[in-house]
Amino acid sequence: MGVVTGDGTVGKALSVLDQVAGMGRPVRMRELLETSEFPKPTLYRLLQTLTNQGMLTYDTEAQTYAPGIRLVRLAHVAWSQASLAPIARPHVDALAANLREAVHVAQIDSGQVVFVDKRQASTKFSTLAQAGQVAPAYCTGVGKAILAFLPEEDLEQALLQQAFHRYTPATHTSADTLRAELETIRAEGIAFDREEHAAGIISIAAPILTPARRVVGSISIATATNRHSLEGLKAFRPALTECAHKIGAEAQSWQPPALP
């Protein structure tokens, strides 16, 4: 698949790393070969390199590759620096305190929503098992809230390489219907997930905008349909947008990859 930016060797290695991580379980080289864009010896060497570097671990017995601990180490720094989580934390605390619903903070990474903070009603702490989880952008409240406020060309870029999978009857299955909804979201400043990703789960989400109106993430309140209706969720809107606004005011301004 032709990446537009077309970076060199490092890009190839990282795409393999992504592929391994994407499998969600230890994999053998053979399995990767089927999906991979690389011929056998190249893939073999890339895997070897990544293993030598500690980005992957290799189980000699099962002959499988899996993401390595070095990533965990790096991620700790990433999470505490590059993510919104530390900035958002106090505000999310305040929001969640008055609430019995789940609160999610997300950022976007190549078409996928990455949750950087997740509060369940029952838990006061975000756990690593939860932070870092991903979901598709096009069928979640947090995802759509971000997409709607992305600059034109970034959005097109994201939509272009988006495969639409139908999770529920309500899931968007084409860029066109999604684009139409994003229009509405942009106008209203608020996004809803109407059981589009999982049946019975709805959410209300607000974008996190910097003072310069760059979208850096989003925050949502999610609940189950047997607890609240969509109309009921709307009651949370003022608190949610206020919280998003406060976070945005503090957020640094990030720049996506600068293309020449």
Partner DNA sequence: TATTTTGTCTCACTATATGAAACGTCGTTT
Partner DNA sequence: AAACGACGTTTCATATAGTGAGACAAAATA
Q: What phi and psi, each to the nearest 5 degrees, are found at residue 161?
A: -100, 25
Q: Facing residues of 206 across strands? A: 219
Q: Structure tokens of 1?
A: 């698949």
Residue 3, interface with DNA (CB under 7 A)? no
184 is an interface residue for DNA by CB under 7 A: no
The set of residues, in sequence order, having a beta carbon less than 8 Å from that of 83 and lying 6+ positions away, is: 107, 116
* Minimum CB distance to a copy of itself smaller for 25 or for 100: 25
| Pattern 44-83, DNA, x by CB under 7 A | xxx--x-------------x--------------------
Residue showing tokens 């899931």 = 171
Tell me which of a copy of itself, DNA, none is bound by residue 169, counting a contact when its beta carbon lies within the kind-specific cut-off of 5 to 8 angstroms: none
- Residue ranges that bind a copy of itself, judged by CB under 8 A: 5, 7-11, 13-14, 17-18, 21-22, 24-26, 46, 49-55, 57-62, 66-83, 85, 107, 109-110, 112, 114, 116, 123, 125-129, 131-134, 252-255, 257-258
Angle at 33 between CA 162 and CA 28, to 5 degrees: 110
Nearer to a copy of itself, 77 or 187 (CB): 77
> Any idea what the Cα angle at residue 202 is, between residues 191 and 99, rounded to 5°?
90
Q: Which residues contact 72 (CB under 8 A, 6 or more apart)?
A: none
Query: Which residues of this chain interact with DNA, rule CB under 7 A?
Result: 7-10, 12, 28-30, 33, 38-42, 44-46, 49, 63, 260
